[in-house]
Amino acid sequence: MEEEQPEFIQFTPNVFSRIAPDIYLERNLKEGIRPNLRKYEEFRSVQVNNKGFGRYDESNPTKSSVLGSSVVKVGKTTVICAITGGIVSDDDILDQATTSSNPFATVYPLVEIARGRSGACTDEEMIIAQKLYETLKSSGIIRKSALKIRYGYKHRTSDDKVEVIFPRNGPQTDGTNDDNDQVMADGNTAETIPFEDKQYSFVLYANLQVFSRTGPPFDICWTALIKALKNTKLPYTFLDEDTTSSRTVKSRSGANATIERSQLICDPVLNYPIKLEEKKIGYSSTFGLVTIPDGEKSQEILLADIEGESEESASTSLVHVVVAGDKLTSLTIHGGSKAGGNGSRITKDFIKKSIDLAHQRSLHLSSI
Amino acid sequence: MVLPEYQTSLLNKVDGSSTISIGEVKVICSVTGPIEAKPRQELPTQCAIEVNIRPEVGVGSTREKNMEDKLRVVLNGTINKFQYPRQLIQVHLHIISKSQATENNLKDLHACINGAYLALIDANISLLSSFLSTYAVINDDRLIFNPTSEQIQSSISHHLVCFDIKSGRADELLFVDSVGEFTEGELMTVLDQSIEEIESMNKIVRKTITEKVSRDYIWKY
């Protein structure tokens, strides 16, 4: 009987990259080009839109509670970041970040990666949010003093007009604690205002939406967060005192009780930009390292800004750097030549090369 | 060099366990496996690795999720996964007392990595290589290994470095996590010094492991 010859199975690139991502990547790299048609050390193009949808945005003032926003598009992926805020008393203990002696503040991020269905958040979303939180805290971009509130007062003048007095030097603190003495009425009146001991601070929340994820989204999320913080404007706040008298009904003497209530109100128009430590602002890059067999020996290739399923699953060795100026803020290396995939040994040369490229990328990102 | 205090085989319902104390940080680690994997975890050619980290109080948060992710990188690179196809290895860690320095959780992670190594050995899981980690800070231009909480709080950069160990030599870089403000030169110094630190740590750890194994297999020798 004649034996049947097995047929060759042919796949389209999409299917092939799913079934055997490592071989797919290897075949592409042997041609000298990546599956996404970029060069090895080429990053994706970036578009940043700083014209936001914030409450104090000059072009489009809204009544929303968004204080700062940004839209960042890298390759096919879009990240929308909105910064909102809240006010807490400094006596409240939110978490360790607020109580420790660390002079730097951070934001509380929430990351959502659109994946066409709803449900509980994934591990990746949680990890990115936590990484954003930790990296911002350790980078020292926001000082706690930048979020301190120096509030004004609303009061009634002698001719029965209601006016709001703000601290003379503006609502932003310079980190010193002599704020209370500086406060005087901003008009002709020079009366001193009794300041309450209670101190308040802003807390910032960041809501990040990732659309069409094509690779590890941390870099884009970090860029979006920084760009949004850069145009974040904090409101002027003032203390509105409200005094009401009420009569207790059931008491025999019918005693009067005066209830004083004060609340912090955010001005709908007046605002000031948040003070960031400009020198410490840096941007993040991710590099994958793959080994492809090349005859007898193998060739090691550094891929910048990894994208696509094949690159992501095949390059198990990763170098992830956040660079600010000539310093590094954060660096994570995942070695994994033995972890499966095409990962390779991390050498010092690769680390140095990654840092160099990250510097260039950071310079480019800070210019746009 | 401050050596961590550790102990193995303290839990009897799991396949391997260890407890490790580094300064004020104490972690208890258990390894169960290889066991049957849930259908969604099952991988046809290799074993699945499940990492769970519990904080000292309450349930895990995003902080623990991030630590689990980092620990998984190390375990993925060292557990001989192809030895156990379609099976599961569970690594559970409970932080009994965490670092007093709230700057970052690298000290906790440092204890977790070394604790997991000892527990994996206790569970007789096949490993591709040994691995150990070090935690160093740069404080006043000085590199300090195993810093105290005060030193952590006043430091400007923090580095966790994990190498795998072959024939007593630190071989391949498995994991690095550096935060703070540092230069490329400082990073390279940290990596070089970590190799020495890990190699000298390995000598002592290896000795106790040898003793442990000869004790465990008393009837074979």
A178/A262 same-domain check: yes
A214/A75 same-domain check: yes
What backbone phi and psi angles, to 5 degrees, belong to A356? -60, -50
Instruction: Choose among B78, B129, B175: nearest Cβ to A333.
Output: B175
Number of domains into which chain A is organized: 3
A241/A133 same-domain check: no
Do residue A131 and residue B66 have CB atoms under 8 angstroms apart?
A: yes
Question: Of A333, A349, A352, which to mutate for an interface test with B (greatest number of B Cβ within 10 Å)?
Answer: A333
A176/A189 same-domain check: yes
A210/A125 same-domain check: yes
A329 reaches B (C-beta below 8 A)? yes
Q: What is this structure's pTM?
A: 0.90
In angstroms, what separates the C-alpha of A357 from chain B's closest C-alpha? Answer: 13
A227/A87 same-domain check: yes
B50 reaches A (C-beta below 8 A)? no
Q: What is the pLDDT of residue B54?
A: 96
A331 reaches B (C-beta below 8 A)? yes
Q: Which residue from B82, B89, B132 is spatially nearest to B111, judged by alpha carbons? A: B132
The mean per-residue pLDDT over the stretch A241-248 comes to: 63
Instruction: Choose among A96, A324, A348: nearest Cβ to B102.
Output: A96
- Would you say A320 and A284 are in contact if contact means Cβ atoms under 8 Å apart? yes
Note whether residue A318 is domain-resident: yes
For residue A179, what pLDDT band results from cuts at 50, 70 and 90? very low
Q: What is the pLDDT of residue A181?
A: 40
A112/A217 same-domain check: yes
Note whether residue A6 is domain-resident: no
Q: Which residue from A286, A291, A297, A296 is spatially nearest to A347, judged by alpha carbons? A: A291
Please, what are the domains in chain B? 5-216 (3.30.230.70)
- Would you say A267 and A238 are in contact if contact means Cβ atoms under 8 Å apart? yes
Q: What is the pLDDT of residue A186?
A: 43
Q: What is the pLDDT of residue A93?
A: 64
Q: What is the pLDDT of residue A196?
A: 55
CATH number, position A51 = 3.30.230.70
Q: Which domain holds residue A211?
A: 46-145+201-234
CA separation for the pair B2, A307 (Å, rounded): 43
Note whether residue A5 is domain-resident: no
A121/A247 same-domain check: no
A262/A314 same-domain check: no
Q: Is A360 in a helix, a strand, or coil? A: helix
Note whether residue A135 is domain-resident: yes
A167/A50 same-domain check: no
The mean per-residue pLDDT over the stretch B88-95 comes to: 96
Note whether residue A2 is domain-resident: no
Higher per-residue confidence, A252 vs A300? A300
A170/A25 same-domain check: no
Q: What is the pLDDT of residue B221?
A: 52
The mean per-residue pLDDT over the stretch A187-211 comes to: 71
Q: What is the pLDDT of residue A251?
A: 54
B102 reaches A (C-beta below 8 A)? yes
Instruction: Choose among B65, B179, B187: nearest Cβ to A126.
Output: B65
pLDDT at A313 over 90: no
Do residue A338 and residue B78 have CB atoms under 8 angstroms apart?
A: yes
B154 reaches A (C-beta below 8 A)? no
Note whether residue A324 is domain-resident: yes
A vs B, Cβ pairs < 8 A, gives 101
Higher per-residue confidence, B200 vs A315? B200
Q: Which residues from chain B sit within 8 angstroms of residue A346, using beta carbons?
A: 172-173
A84/A213 same-domain check: yes
For residue B36, what pLDDT band results from cuts at 50, 70 and 90? very high
pLDDT at A176 over 70: no
In angstroms, what separates the C-alpha of A260 from chain B's closest C-alpha? Answer: 39
DSSP H helices, A175-254, are: 179-182, 218-230
pLDDT > 90: what percent of chain B? 75
For residue A125, what pLDDT band results from cuts at 50, 70 and 90? very high
Range in A68-82, A230-244, B59-73 the model is least confident about: A230-244
Q: Which residues from chain B sit within 8 angstroms of residue A139, using beta carbons?
A: 181
Note whether residue A215 is domain-resident: yes
Note whether residue A41 is domain-resident: no
ipTM for the complex?
A: 0.93
A284 reaches B (C-beta below 8 A)? no
